[in-house]
Structure 1
Amino acid sequence: MTLPQGDLRLLDSDIARRMLGSTELARLAYVASDDTPRVLPMLFHWNGEEVVLPTFAGTAKLKALRARPAVAITIDNAGPPPGVLLIRGRAEVTEVDGVVPEYALAQQRYYGPEQAATVAELGKTGVRMARIAVRPSWVGTIDFVTRFPGARSAEEFARIGQ
C-alpha cells in the first residue's frame, strides 16, 4: 500500500532519507513581517526528529518566524529523475551565544572536515546564532517514478499536455 501524501511515515522512504542526508539546500518558505512570502535556501541538519536550519541571530526572518511559525520546506534535486521531499511544520526559534551545534554538523556534511574545523574558531569570536527547528507535521515526496505531483498515477501524469 502506498502511503498518502502528508503521512509522516514518508520520512522513512528512500527518497526522504536520500534528501535528508544530501548536500542539497533546504528551501524554507515563510511569511515575512510585511505579509509577503519568502523562500530562503539554507544549509540544514536532520537529527531524526527535526530539520534544523542554523543561522545568525538578529535577522528579520527570525522575527517573522516567531510571529508566524507555520513554514514549508522543500529539499530536492534535479535528477534525472527529479526527487522532492516536502515538509510542513512550525518553526521554533532559539537564539544562543556561540555556534549552534547543528551549524558545525551541517558545515561538515556540506563542505568536509576542514570547514567544520573553522566553525570552532567562529565560536571564539562572540558570535550569536539561532537554531530554527522544524518538526514535521506533514510530509510529501515526489520521485517521478512512483509518485507524481497532484497524487497522479504515472499514466495520468503522462497524459498531461497531450
Structure 2
Amino acid sequence: MDAMELPQGHVGLLETDAARRLLGSKELARVAYTAADGTPRVFPMLFHWTGDEVVLSTFAGARKITALRARPDVAITIDVAGAPPQALLIRGRAEVTDVAGIVPEYRLAQYRYGTPEQAAAALASVSHPGTRMARIAVRPTWVGLLDFTTRLPGGTTAAEFARRGRA
C-alpha cells in the first residue's frame, strides 16, 4: 500500500510497511492521557498489537486505570529516534477491563520485548495467586505516520521540508 495516497488520520495507514514495522518492534508505546487532576501525562509502556487494537497492561491499583475510565481519549506514539526518525501516531479511546491473573497480551509482549528466558522470569515474578491486572485496549480511530522520507510533518515534500526555517 502506498502511504502517500492516504491522508494523515486515515486508519489504513496501519497497513503500511512502516506502521507494521513499528507495531511489531520492541519500541515502547508512549501513551498520553489526562490524569485524574486534569493534567496531561505520558507514560511509556510495553504493548501488543492484535491487528485491531493496541493492548497495554498494568497492575491493579495503578492510578492510570481510574484516569482512563474517567477520560478514555488517548494518544499513542511508537517511534524510532534513529535517522531518519519514524513515528506512528495513534488516537483512540481506551477500554479498560479488569483481569484476574496475567493479561494474555502482557504475556505476548514480554516474549516480544525480551528473550524467552527474560520473559519467563518476568512473568514468574508477577504470576501468583491473587494477581490482578487491567487490560487497556485502544482501537485506533485516527492514525498518522511520519517516516521523514516519504511522509513528512505538515504533508510537505522532501524539498519543502529541507527548506523549512530558511529565509
- TM above 0.5, yes or no, is yes
Name the residue aligned to 1:153.
157
Identity %: 68
Match of 1:142 among 140, 146, 157: 146
* Aligned equivalent of 1:19: 22
Structure 1 counterpart SS, 2:150: coil
Mean CA deviation greater in 60-69 or 124-133:
124-133
The match for 1:82 is 85
Structure-2 residue corresponding to 1:98: 101
Deviation at 1:131, TM superposition (A): 0.5
* TM-score in terms of structure 1 length: 0.96
Per-residue deviation, residues 50-85 of structure 1 (Å, max 9, x unmatched): 000011111111100000000000000012111100
Residue in 2 that maps onto 1:132 = 136
Q: Please give the secondary structure, in 2, of the residue aligned with 1:24.
A: coil
Aligned residues: CA RMSD: 1.2
Q: For 1:28-107, what aligned pairs fall within 5 Å after superposition?
A: 28-107=31-110
Measure how far apart 1:116 and its partner are. 2.6
Structure 2 Cα separation of the partners of residues 40 and 79 of structure 1: 21
Amino acid at match of 1:149: P
- Number of matched residues? 162
Note the C-alpha offset of 1:121: 5.7
Gaps of at least 5 residues in structure 1 are: none
Structure 2: gaps of 5 or more residues: none
